[in-house]
């Protein structure tokens, strides 16, 4: 029986946030603190001829100014954490990403100088006195255009701007042959546009070199403090890791954009050593638009072939993926191992080939953004299948049911082996779509749609998805190019009084770990939730961590906690057996006490804890203490899945599209806290729908980001959405102790194509047989689609 697991326990972390006592990086002040402003390139591609800092240096309050020339050659820049090889086996092109540019700027926002002063205002004022002489060059921003001969080069040693090319799946010729003999082929060219993550807390970093201890501290808005420390120490600054502490305090949302190790983090740490003062840098939103790693940006051609019966026979996907000007930490993994591997979807497609060309452009770096590769894969599959249904005049749901992989639980039935390198853990796909259709009232909707008259067009769009999360088995990702392991660590420290401190390497920045993890611990240990404290985000207190991304916290971090709990209870049983003068085999553990089977003799968890630390009457040879660390490396990814349905209404005269309903049925495995899981789904939906309807970065041909503010980049607002209708099915993960799969990205992965499909459906039913409306589907784009 569980007391907490499966219950919507209210979040323990909320109190500090609702009272204004959250502690985000920018909230931290230290004696003697000085402030940094980073002068950035206003041009996308230029040679820096000279930088004159004389006037700025003598400006009021200025403490120090550094340019690229001041940074030792040995500090080459921030590294890339994932290596993908060219098809021919060559290692990807990996030009350095310097902390401050030395010769060339490669995107608007590239760092040119850091100005440190006693106040933010003085640093900013002084920055206006720095005189940089640039020679301007042509720029390229589109990932496909970048690969064409004669395109301006981003890096001299990356010909045709190609970072790498890559393919996966069945041989191309086999796929081509299957497509050639298909009864119907649906082909689509589309752009999965560039997204700007826009976590509400702008990035911030504080570097503090402590002369007394010869120790560095970095406070930073990060999703993974330990990984940042490892990258910064070993690959950037060459610092001894044990002399560096990285803290990710309260972090105001990440969505991927705070996974990566950014130049500003290394800069404030390096500079703080030079001037022996704590330095704070906090970016403005305008800077965030230019420098937070962006997401998506794929230009794709895809073909899906069907037999006469509607069974998918083959899929060919060709994508140009924009890397931006530099390879960000996980950038190469996104269009490849997080995208190509997901193109099986939840269908039995027998032949699949995916071909990816990753290119450099004069734009900000692109990396993982909520879903990272999986939304792009889902978009590709789900746009094709809905379009195919329209073209073949079939019902889009029937077409899906026909192609679903049959149910498998990963225990009785083997996991499903895909054509693209994965083995799904467990899946039961039809019920999520069936449930979604019930919630929609599908037949009634189609009736309503058929009878519609007047100045509006109604449409319905579907998306069924499977994703890979719980990232990830280290050996697997290592073989795929990851330069890090992707396990997680946890320490369960029982205090002498029986209170429990849990140290996890997962970082919470909105996900509610302090509650969900505590529910797991309290239930497993049979103690009150109030007796559990979850500690995260500080490399000095948490042994190690790989951080939070890829919907991995509970599946991997939670499993590590379970391992430590098991060890605690195993040792506790030995102590209890000693106290009860029984054998451990004769003991039961429940509700916080060990009982000798069949008797009322028992000893409580608190007594055992105290005995462990006051070991007077104690098992011989057993170490004192009750404190265990574990590392958990998963056996496989986890594979959540779901079905999303959008209903839209288009104003024929203006193209304005209203999202009338959104239904999401997701299966994320077992659920610890339904309230929190629903919240994760809601947030993901908003981001996915935002991509479909509202958001998207626009670079002009000179490389200027022309919508780099909230006045132009459309952040979704409350009145852009209806209330979401969510439900779930539960198919446990067979390979982790909690049976959980992960819920952080599902909403964002499934929702985008459902909305686009709904608009396309509305347009077709209104007599406008267009294949695509570019995202974001602004009113003008939808209106234009109706003019043909």
Partner 1 sequence: MANKISVTVNGKQYTGEVESRTLLSDYLREDLSLTGTHIGCDTSSCGACTIHIDGKAVKSCTMLAVQADGCEVTTVEGLATNGNLHPMQESFKEEHGLQCGFCTPGMMMTATDFLKTNPNPSEQEIREALEGNFCRCTGYHNIVRSIQLAAKKMSEAV
Partner 2 sequence: MIPNSFDYKKATSVDEAISLLGDDVQILGGGHSLIPTLKLRLNAPGTLVDISKIESLKVIRDNENSITIGGGATHASIAADAALSEHAPMMTQAAKEIGDIQVRNFGTIGGSMAHADPAADWPAVLLACDANVVIQGKGGKREVDIDQFFKGFYETALADGEIITAVRIPKMASNRHSVYVKFKQPASRFAIVGCAVGIEMEGGVVKSARIGMTGVGESAYRAMNVEKALVGQALTAESIEAAVKNVTEGAEVMSDHYASQKYRTHLAHVYVKRALKMLM
Which residues make up the interface to partner 2 (CB under 8 A)?
120-121, 124-125, 128, 284-286, 653-654, 656, 694, 698, 706-707, 710-715, 778-780, 783-784
- Which of 158, 266, 685, 777: binder of partner 1 (CB under 8 A)? 685
- Which of 11, 104, 208, 294: binder of partner 1 (CB under 8 A)? 11
Angstrom distance (rounded) from CA 546 to CA 550: 11
Site for partner 1 contains 719 (CB under 8 A): yes
- Which of 94, 142, 250, 376: binder of partner 1 (CB under 8 A)? 250
Residue whose tokens read 């916080």: 592
Residue whose tokens read 């930088």: 51
Q: Which of residues 593-652 bind partner 1 (CB under 8 A)?
A: none
Angstrom distance (rounded) from CA 284 to CA 516: 33
Angstrom distance (rounded) from CA 285 to CA 221: 14
Q: What angle do CA 674, 675, 678 make, to 5 degrees?
A: 80
| Size of residue set near partner 1 by CB under 8 A | 58
Site for partner 1 contains 80 (CB under 8 A): no
Q: Which is nearer to partner 2, 537 or 776 (CB)?
A: 776
Site for partner 1 contains 31 (CB under 8 A): no
Beta strands of 212-341 (E only): which ranges? Answer: 215-220, 244-247, 279-282, 295-306, 312-324
Angstrom distance (rounded) from CA 233 to CA 220: 15
Q: Element (H or E) spanning 397, and its range? A: helix 396-403
CA distances from 541 to 245, 303, 537 (A): 9, 51, 8
Site for partner 1 contains 679 (CB under 8 A): yes
656 binds, among partner 1, partner 2, none (CB under 5 to 8 A by kind): partner 2
- Which of 206, 520, 676, 782: binder of partner 1 (CB under 8 A)? 676
Site for partner 1 contains 656 (CB under 8 A): no
- Which of 415, 684, 696, 753: binder of partner 1 (CB under 8 A)? 684
Q: Which of residues 504-533 bind partner 1 (CB under 8 A)?
A: 509-512
Q: Which is nearer to partner 2, 479 or 706 (CB)?
A: 706
Site for partner 1 contains 761 (CB under 8 A): no
**φ, ψ (nearest 5 deg) of residue 758:** -65, -40
653 binds, among partner 1, partner 2, none (CB under 5 to 8 A by kind): partner 2
The tokens describing 408, both together, are: 């498998």
Angstrom distance (rounded) from CA 436 to CA 728: 9
Minimum CB separation of residue 693 from partner 2 in Å reads 8
Angstrom distance (rounded) from CA 704 to CA 108: 7
Minimum CB separation of residue 201 from partner 1 in Å reads 5
Site for partner 1 contains 286 (CB under 8 A): yes
Angstrom distance (rounded) from CA 763 to CA 121: 52
Contact in structure between 482 and 633 (CB atoms under 8 Å) = no
Angstrom distance (rounded) from CA 252 to CA 222: 9
DSSP state of 202: P
588 binds, among partner 1, partner 2, none (CB under 5 to 8 A by kind): none
Binding segment toward partner 1, per CB under 8 A, in 26-34, 46-54, 314-322, 493-501? 26-34
Q: Which is nearer to partner 2, 35 or 589 (CB)?
A: 35
Q: Which is nearer to partner 2, 646 or 786 (CB)?
A: 786
SS3 784: helix
Minimum CB separation of residue 368 from partner 1 in Å reads 16
Q: Which of residues 736-755 bind partner 1 (CB under 8 A)?
A: 747
11 binds, among partner 2, partner 1, none (CB under 5 to 8 A by kind): partner 1
Angstrom distance (rounded) from CA 57 to CA 51: 12
Q: Which is nearer to partner 2, 124 or 311 (CB)?
A: 124
Q: Which of residues 202-231 bind partner 1 (CB under 8 A)?
A: 202
Angstrom distance (rounded) from CA 22 to CA 509: 11
Angstrom distance (rounded) from CA 592 to CA 33: 48
Angstrom distance (rounded) from CA 182 to CA 738: 43
- Which of 44, 114, 199, 645: binder of partner 1 (CB under 8 A)? 199
Angstrom distance (rounded) from CA 415 to CA 599: 44
125 binds, among partner 1, partner 2, none (CB under 5 to 8 A by kind): partner 2
Cα torsion 20, 24, 27, 30 to 10°: value is 140
Q: Which is nearer to partner 1, 33 or 177 (CB)?
A: 33
Minimum CB separation of residue 770 from partner 2 in Å reads 17
Angstrom distance (rounded) from CA 460 to CA 397: 11
Angstrom distance (rounded) from CA 403 to CA 348: 6
Residue whose tokens read 């990963």: 410
Minimum CB separation of residue 286 from partner 2 in Å reads 7
Q: Which is nearer to partner 2, 76 or 698 (CB)?
A: 698
Minimum CB separation of residue 642 from partner 2 in Å reads 28
Return residues touching partner 1 (CB under 8 A).
Answer: 8, 10-11, 13-24, 26-27, 29, 121, 198-202, 250-253, 255, 284-286, 509-512, 675-676, 678-679, 682-687, 709-711, 715-719, 721, 723-724, 747
């Amino acid at each position: 029986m569980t007391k907490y697991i499966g219950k919507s326990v209210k979040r323990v972390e909320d109190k500090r946030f609702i009272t204004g006592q959250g502690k985000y990086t920018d909230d931290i002040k230290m004696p003697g603190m000085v402030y940094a402003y980073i002068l950035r390139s206003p041009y996308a591609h230029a040679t820096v001829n000279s930088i004159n800092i004389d006037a700025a240096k003598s400006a009021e309050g200025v403490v120090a100014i550094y340019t690229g020339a001041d940074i030792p050659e040995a500090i080459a820049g921030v590294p890339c954490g994932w290596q993908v090889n060219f098809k021919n086996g060559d290692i990807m092109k990996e030009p350095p990403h310097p902390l401050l540019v030395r010769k060339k700027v490669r995107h608007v926002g590239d760092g040119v100088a850091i100005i440190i002063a006693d106040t933010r205002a003085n640093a900013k004022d002084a920055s206006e006195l720095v005189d940089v002489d640039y020679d301007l060059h042509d720029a390229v921003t589109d990932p496909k255009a970048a690969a064409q001969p004669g395109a301006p080069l981003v890096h001299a040693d990356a010909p045709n701007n190609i970072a790498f090319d890559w393919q996966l799946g069945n041989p191309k010729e086999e796929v081509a042959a299957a497509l050639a003999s298909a009864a119907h082929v649906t082909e689509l060219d589309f752009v999965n546009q560039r997204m700007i993550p826009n976590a509400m807390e702008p990035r911030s970093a504080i570097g503090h070199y402590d002369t007394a201890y010869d120790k560095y501290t970095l406070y930073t808005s990060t999703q993974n403090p330990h990984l940042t420390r490892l990258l910064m120490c070993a690959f950037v600054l060459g610092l001894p890791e044990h002399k560096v502490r990285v803290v990710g305090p309260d972090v105001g949302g990440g969505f991927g954009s705070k996974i990566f190790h950014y130049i500003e983090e290394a800069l404030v740490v390096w500079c703080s050593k030079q001037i022996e003062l704590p330095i704070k840098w906090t970016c403005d939103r305008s800077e965030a638009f230019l420098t937070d790693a962006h997401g998506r940006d794929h230009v794709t051609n895809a073909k899906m072939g069907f037999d006469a019966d509607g069974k998918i026979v083959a899929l060919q996907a060709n994508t140009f993926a924009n890397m931006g000007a530099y390879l960000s930490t996980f950038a190469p993994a996104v269009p490849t191992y997080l995208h190509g591997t997901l193109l099986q979807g939840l269908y039995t497609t027998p032949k699949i080939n995916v071909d990816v060309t990753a290119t450099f452009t004069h734009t900000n770096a692109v990396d993982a953004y909520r879903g990272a590769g999986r939304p792009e894969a889902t978009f590709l599959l789900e746009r094709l299948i809905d379009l195919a249904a329209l073209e073949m005049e079939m019902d889009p749901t029937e077409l899906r049911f026909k192609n679903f992989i049959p149910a498998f639980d990963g225990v009785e039935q083997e996991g499903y082996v895909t054509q693209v390198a994965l083995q799904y853990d467990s899946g039961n796909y039809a019920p999520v779509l069936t449930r979604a259709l019930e919630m929609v009232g599908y037949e009634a909707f189609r009736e309503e749609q058929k009878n519609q008259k007047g100045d509006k067009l109604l449409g319905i769009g579907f998306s069924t998805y499977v994703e890979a999360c719980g990232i990830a088995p280290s050996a697997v990702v290592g073989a795929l190019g990851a330069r890090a392991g992707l396990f997680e660590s946890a320490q369960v420290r029982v205090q002498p009084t029986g209170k429990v401190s849990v140290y996890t390497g997962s970082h919470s920045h909105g996900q509610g770990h302090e509650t969900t993890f505590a529910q797991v611990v309290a239930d497993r240990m049979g103690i009150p939730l109030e007796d559990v404290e979850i500690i995260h985000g500080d490399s000095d207190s948490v042994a190690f961590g790989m951080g939070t991304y890829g919907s991995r916290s509970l599946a991997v971090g939670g499993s590590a906690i379970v391992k430590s709990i098991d060890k605690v209870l195993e040792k506790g049983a030995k102590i209890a057996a000693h106290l009860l003068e029984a054998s451990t085999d004769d003991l039961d553990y429940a509700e916080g006490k060990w009982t000798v089977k069949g008797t009322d003799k028992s000893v409580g968890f608190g007594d055992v804890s105290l005995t462990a630390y006051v070991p007077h009457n104690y098992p011989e040879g057993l170490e004192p203490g009750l404190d265990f660390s574990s590392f958990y490396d998963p056996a496989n990814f986890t594979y959540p899945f779901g079905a999303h349905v959008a209903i839209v209404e288009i104003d024929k005269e203006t193209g304005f599209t209203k999202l009338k309903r959104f239904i999401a049925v997701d299966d994320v495995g077992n659920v610890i806290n339904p309230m929190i899981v629903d919240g994760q789904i809601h947030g993901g939906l908003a981001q996915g729908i935002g991509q479909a309807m509202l958001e998207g970065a626009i670079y002009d041909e000179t490389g200027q980001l022309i919508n780099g503010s909230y006045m132009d980049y459309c952040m979704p607002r409350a009145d852009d959405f209806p209330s979401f209708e969510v439900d779930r099915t539960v198919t446990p993960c067979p390979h982790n102790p909690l049976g959980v799969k992960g819920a952080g990205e599902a909403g964002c992965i499934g929702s985008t194509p459902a909305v686009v499909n709904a608009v396309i459906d509305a347009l077709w039913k209104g007599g406008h047989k267009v294949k695509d409306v570019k995202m974001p589907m602004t009113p003008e784009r939808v209106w234009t689609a109706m003019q043909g």
